[in-house]
Structure 1
Amino acid sequence: MRPLRTLAVLAALASAALLAPPAQAAATVRTSAATIYRGEGDQLLRVRTTTRPGIVKITHNGEGHLAVWTLAPSGREDDLLANQVGAYKGTSAFNTGTSNRTAAFSIKADGAWTLQVLPLTKARSWSITSRGTGDDVLRLSSTSRGLHRLRIRHSGDGHFAVWTLDANGRTHNLVVNKVGSYNGTVSLPPGTRYASIKANGTWSIVRR
């Protein structure tokens, strides 16, 4: 009887091992306002398909290339949220196009990462003078009206772009699109509620 009991115990342990999640599986934490995913290395995170604009706060502690895409239900790569070599910390907007539908997030990474998915209304407050480093999303307290100026500076050596978004979070205008350092003044398009900044260096935006 003892050998049979031993075999039964071994069989149960083997079955549990087969059913256990892989070591690299992403952990998910949900709160009332956000969903946080944590993992390491390459992952594909399926989510409930949505067309609603939002933001993703991303961190990466690897040394290699990090790329984070939203995927459409067809599997097509849609929004490139992060694209950097080495450590990364930034915030990006997604579903800003009227045809966007996000069904998953694709992560290509060599280190540990986190993704915090939030409503667009949780973007950082856009003060008169806003400063940051790297990718970010800013939110005005109300939609802009009339003629206003933006004094914008960037000290990085990579691509620098500033998109404005309307009150619904949809792409409005591309006000800056340069490579390297930048120092200029542009108009703030009426109807702007958000700004999406893609940068690899420090930047500042002053509203006037």
Structure 2
Amino acid sequence: MRSLRTLAALAALASAALLAPPAQAATTVQASAATIYRGEGDQLLRIRATTKPGTVKITHDGEGYFSVWTLSPSGKEDDLLANQVGAYKGTAPFNTSTSNKTAAFSIKADGAWTLQVLPLTKARSWSITSRGIGDDVLRLSSTSRGLHRLKIRHSGDGYFSVWTLDANGRTHNLVANKVGAYNGAVSLPPGARYASIKANGAWSIVRR
């Protein structure tokens, strides 16, 4: 009789465990203009679908493969915001094409991560000399006019690119595109307001 009672108690515990709601994998914090998501491992974050360009500040402290994609309302992958093995820290723009409409962020991770979603207007100020490590987004105080020179350096060994975006946050011009170290001077296209940098090492951009 005692063994039957024990079995019944174990069955009740197992049933309660199966009926219990799953642990929350991501938390959301609203702070002024920013929305911050925190989680661990793979996650699909649904948001209110938007065509408005913005930026995402991203961190990951895992050791394995890490990526963040934007998804359209149909589930199509659009913008690859982060793509790295191991720890990651960077900022990337999204909805830079007029055809994009973001309805979710798809995260692949083996560690803890954060996503801070901000308006594009909150991007880091693009000073005369701007420096950074890894992916970033820069913002001019006004749209570029006339002839200006950009002196660009990159010391990483992976893919490096610099895209300019127009005042509406849409893709404008590709001004640097190289795998590995880069050292060059290019013109700043008229009509540029933002710069999107993809890098795996230290970089600098000097405007003249």
The verdict on a shared fold, with TM-score over 0.5 as the criterion, is yes
Distance (whole Å) between structure 1 residues aligned to residue 21 and residue 33 of structure 2: 29
- Aligned-partner residue type, residue 14 of structure 1: A
Equivalent residue pairs, number: 198
Unaligned 5+ segments in structure 1 are: 1-6
Describe the superposition over 1:68-122 as per-residue Cα deviations: whole angstroms up to 9, x where unpaired.
0000111111000000010000000000001000000000000000000000001
Aligned runs of 1:77-156 on 2, under 5 Å?
Answer: 77-156=77-156
Q: Which amino acid aligns with 1:99?
A: S
Once residues 31 and 21 of structure 2 are traced to their aligned partners in structure 1, the CA distance between those partners, rounded to angstroms, is: 25
Which residue number in structure 2 is paired with residue 29 of structure 1? 29
In structure 1, what is the equivalent of residue 159 of structure 2? 159
Residue aligned with 1:52, SS: coil
Paired position in structure 2 for 1:38: 38
Query: What are the Cα deviations for residues 45-79 of structure 1, in whole angstroms up to 9, with x where unaligned?
Result: 00000000000000000000101000011111100
Cα RMSD between the aligned structures? 1.7
Gaps of 5+ in 2: 1-8
Partners of 1:155 and 1:32 in 2: how far apart? 35
**Deviation readout 1:5-59 (Å, 9 max, x if unpaired):** xx9xx79x939x7353425x10000122110000000000000000000000000
Give 1:14's aligned residue. Answer: 16
Identify the residue that residue 191 of structure 1 maps to in structure 2.
191
- Alignment-mate amino acid for residue 52 of structure 2: R
Q: For 1:112, give the aligned amino acid.
A: A
What CA distance in whole angstroms lies between the structure 2 residues aligned with 1:195 and 1:107? Answer: 24
- CA–CA distance in structure 1, aligned partners of residues 149 and 122 of structure 2: 24
Identity rate of aligned residues, in percent?
82
Q: Distance in 1 between matches of 2:181 and 2:16?
A: 58
Corresponding position of 2:3:
none
Residue 14 of structure 1: SS of its match in structure 2? Answer: helix
* SS at 1:84 equivalent: strand
Deviations 1:139-190 (A, max 9, x none): 0001110000000000000000000000000000000110000000000000
Deviates most, 57-66 or 28-37? 28-37
Aligned pairs for 1:42-57 (under 5 A) are 42-57=42-57
Normalising by the residue count of structure 1, what TM-score does the alignment of the two structures yield? 0.91
Over 6 Å off, 4+ runs: none
Matching residue's letter, 1:166:
D
SS at match of 1:74: coil
Please give the TM-score of this superposition, normalised by the length of structure 2. 0.91
Distance 2:87 2:16 in 1: 38
